[in-house]
């Protein structure tokens, strides 16, 4: 892996003098990465912890669970009022069943 000595931001080049910072920037550059077609539950993804200001790894399955929890618990404002996605789908399905019985 090549070491990055400077970073261009909006057309301005900044020298990186700290060796650890140079290595960190080099590790983040996309041309140093390969792609993966099949993601497994044990794969990890890097995220930024904005509270601690640190990069951290999270397992793919835990990230998927967190996203699913966020989506299913989020309140959406609908014509009938505020509901979660699951509540709205359940209501829609119950109305479909009643319509088919009549």
Choose among 22, 28, 29, 30: nearest CA to 3. Answer: 22
Q: What is the pLDDT of residues 45-80, one digit of tens each?
A: 888 888 988 888 999 999 999 999 998 888 878 777
List beta partners, residue 13.
Answer: 8
Q: Count Cα atoms within 13 angstroms, Cβ side, for 83.
A: 12
List beta partners, residue 55.
Answer: 48
Q: What is the pLDDT of residues 6-41, one digit of tens each?
A: 667 667 766 666 555 656 656 666 666 788 889 898
């Amino acid at each position: 892996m090549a070491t990055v000595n400077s970073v261009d931001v909006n057309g301005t080049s900044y020298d990186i003098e700290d060796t650890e910072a140079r290595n960190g920037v080099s590790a983040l550059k996309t041309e140093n990465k390969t792609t993966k077609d099949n993601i497994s539950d044990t794969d990890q993804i890097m995220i930024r912890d904005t509270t601690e200001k640190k990069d951290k790894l999270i397992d793919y399955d835990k990230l998927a669970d967190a996203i699913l929890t966020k989506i299913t618990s989020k309140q959406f404002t609908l014509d009938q009022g505020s509901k979660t996605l699951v509540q709205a789908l359940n209501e829609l399905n119950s109305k479909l069943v009643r319509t088919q019985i009549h």
